């Protein structure tokens, strides 16, 4: 009986330690960067939080830079893909601007009236510059 118990414990430990562990990580190729999750899937056609930052991944799963127009508004993404839109305290997600080239209003720019601020998605926004809808690209850092 003792040998059977010892065999079972050894078999269970072997099975437990031989399982493949996956770790989420950033990957790249000549097309750009994407994020592979722990389960080997990757985000596509969506905003997703990776670590402390939000990124937008296109339909092919590549992280984007520039201005992106989504159903919920416009999003500004730095060259490294990090979303610069303000975070809504209620949802803890970035909110879309009313138009490309618009940024969150800050009072040291001037008054809302002077700047023509627009209330959209629970924030005031001001026009910073004009943006073309095609102002988007795959991020490609270090390649």
The predicted-structure confidence for 29-50, as pLDDT tens digits, reads as follows 999 999 999 999 999 999 999 9
What's the burial of 115, exposed, middle or buried (CB within 10 Å: 0-12/13-18/19+)? Answer: middle
What DSSP letter does each residue of 46-66 carry, written as one string?
EEEEETTEEEEE-TTS-BEEE
pTM for the whole structure: 0.73
Say what the pLDDT of residue 130 is. Answer: 72
Residue 33: CB partners within 8 Å, gap ≥ 6?
26, 27, 62, 63, 81, 138, 139, 140, 141
Give the tens place of pLDDT for each residue, 77-126.
998 999 999 999 889 999 999 988 888 998 888 899 988 999 998 999 99
Confidence of residue 19 (pLDDT cuts 50, 70, 90): very low
Q: How confident is the model at residue 140 (pLDDT cuts 50, 70, 90)?
A: low
CB neighbours of residue 109 within 10 Å = 14
DSSP 60-107: TS-BEEEEEEETTEEEEE-TT--B-SPEETTTTEE--BSSTTEEE--G
Q: For 49-76, what is each residue's pLDDT tens digit?
A: 999 999 999 999 999 999 999 999 999 9
Going by C-beta distance under 8 Å and a sequence separation of 6 or more, which residues neighbour residue 17? none
């Amino acid at each position: 009986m003792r040998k059977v118990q010892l065999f079972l414990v050894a078999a269970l430990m072997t099975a437990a330690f031989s399982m493949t562990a996956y770790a989420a990580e950033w990957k790249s190729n000549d097309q750009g960067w994407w994020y592979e999750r722990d389960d080997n899937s990757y985000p596509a056609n969506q905003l997703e939080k990776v670590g402390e930052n939000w990124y937008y991944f296109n339909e092919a799963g590549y992280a984007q830079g520039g201005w992106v127009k989504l159903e919920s508004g416009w999003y500004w993404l730095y060259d490294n893909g990090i979303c610069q839109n303000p975070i809504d305290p209620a949802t803890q997600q970035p909110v879309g601007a009313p138009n490309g080239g618009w940024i969150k209003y800050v009072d040291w720019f001037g008054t809302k009236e002077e700047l023509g601020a627009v209330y959209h998605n629970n924030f005031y926004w001001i026009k910073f510059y004009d943006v073309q809808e095609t102002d988007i690209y795959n991020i490609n850092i270090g390649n």
